[in-house]
Structure 1
Amino acid sequence: MQVPLPHDELTCQVREILDRVGDKWSLAIVNELGGGTRRFTELKRAIHGISQRMLTASLRNLERDGLVSRTVYPVVPPRVDYELTGLGHTFLKTAWSLMSWAIEHAPDIVEARQKYDQ
C-alpha cells in the first residue's frame, strides 16, 4: 500500500519531520524516555555511543518538535528532567512498531546483504 503524499509545502514539512524523528539518536532517546522521566546523565549512560553534544542537540530538537518536555529544577547542582509529551507517546508507539520490524527482520536483511555483496 502506498501513502499518497501531497505535492506542496506539506511534502517538505513531512520529509523534514521524518528526517528528524527517524534518525538513530532520536529513536534511541524516545525509546529510553518511554520508560519514564530521565535525567540527562541517565540518558547519556543508557544510550551507548551518543556524545554529550549529540544528546544535547537531539533533546533540543525533540523538545522543539513537541515530543519531549524539559523541566529545570532550581537546585545546586542544577537538575533537569526530560520526559515524553503526549505527542511523544504517540510517536513512541509508531517507533516501537518500526523497531520491532527491524528486530524481526534483521537476519533476513543480513542474509540479503551477504547475497548482494557476493
Structure 2
Amino acid sequence: MKSTIELLEHTDFPAIKRRKLTTLQVNLGYLCNMSCVHCHVAASPYRTEMMSRELVELILKVLQAQNIDTLDLTGGAPEMHDDFKYLVVEARKLGVKVIDRCNLTILMEEG
C-alpha cells in the first residue's frame, strides 16, 4: 500500500480552521438505568463516576464565555445526575439550546 504521509506533510491544501465552537458535548457520568452490551462507555446502574458540581459550574462559565450555541448532554443517563435539571435550566437562561442524549426508558421511571 502506498504511504500517504508525504501527501499530508507537504500539501498546498489550505488549513481548515474552525470559525466558532458551536456545540459543547458533555458526559455527565457513567450512571445509567440500563446496562447495554453495546454501550461505548460501559454505563450501568452500578457505575458511580459522576461529574462534580464544580465542573458543572465551570461548564456554565464556558458556555457563556465562548458564546456556545448548543450543550449536548450525554452519559450514562444524563437525567440521573443530581445537577441535570440545574444545568439545563441555567444553560437555557443563557440562551443555549440543550440536547439530552436520552435512552427514553428513563422517562418511564419514577422520580
TM-score normalized by structure 2? 0.30
Q: Which has the higher contact order (CA 8 A, sep 6+)?
A: 2
Larger radius of gyration: 2
Q: As a proportion of its length, which structure holds more helix? A: 1
TM-score normalized by structure 1? 0.29
